[in-house]
Structure 1
């Protein structure tokens, strides 16, 4: 699982909306140096997930509705990318040819599952608020 451009842009959109003000997509794009066509696609996903609300019309725009302290990086990745796995064999309906041929669990799959679980847990520990506004030391 990698942080894709879409998730990166979603983080920037949330940064622009973090103060609770109503902003139109053009203002968000200007403030965060984002491409308009891609931004609107992400705004629709955030709206559908209940993270923001989109108000239509001349006085419309976008407004944050979620508590960024309660929204994790894992949640945001799930909203923008869907459930992303580190390997295709981690995906729900994957048919492992090795397992089918030899009839036992693949050791590679088992080890990747441990890594996937660890990564998912780590991503769940970072709130969007922390990602945007708290400095972490290495």
Structure 2
């Protein structure tokens, strides 16, 4: 399974936004500059993330974007679902009918698998992604045995 580029960029954008938490506000343009993502893409993501209740736009002097709730209360699952919709490895779970449904013994198990995947992503808070990666966390800095 691979996340779409947009979901990946949403995680990157939210990580950058989380580094501004504590009352500081930022803008879509600042987030684009910090992340290296195209400004139109970040603007699109800001819209989706705001609709999902993850970002909040504050108007007026000193306005801008801020997290809608504490970074510790936002997970990778929340971010991915804001962009992609419900986390599912297959579409057959949502499909009303499938050509192979009569002989499929796996379909009843997909909701369990999907929930396990969502649960794993829900265990990763935004605070963890916003923190500076330690050398042992960086693949390029691990010693090869």
Compute the displacement of 1:58 (Å): 7.4
1:38 maps to what in 2?
A: 41
* TM norm structure 1: 0.79
The answer as to whether partners of 2:25 and 2:62 remain within 8 angstroms in 1 is no
Q: Where does the alignment leave 5 or more consecutive residues of structure 1 unmatched?
A: none
Q: In the comparison of the two structures, how many residue pairs are matched?
A: 133
**How far apart in 2 are the matches of 1:120 and 1:36?**
29
**Residues 27-86 of structure 1: per-residue CA shift (max 9 Å, x gap):** 111111011111111101111222211234675421222212111211111111111421
Alignment of 1:57-72 (within 5 A): 60-72=63-75
Partner of 1:53: helix, strand, or coil?
Answer: strand
**How far apart in 2 are the matches of 1:117 and 1:47?**
24
**How far apart in 1 are the matches of 2:41 and 2:60?**
20
Q: Where does the alignment leave 5 or more consecutive residues of structure 2 unmatched?
A: 140-145
Partner of 1:83: helix, strand, or coil?
Answer: coil
2:52 maps to what in 1?
A: 49
1:95 maps to what in 2?
A: 97
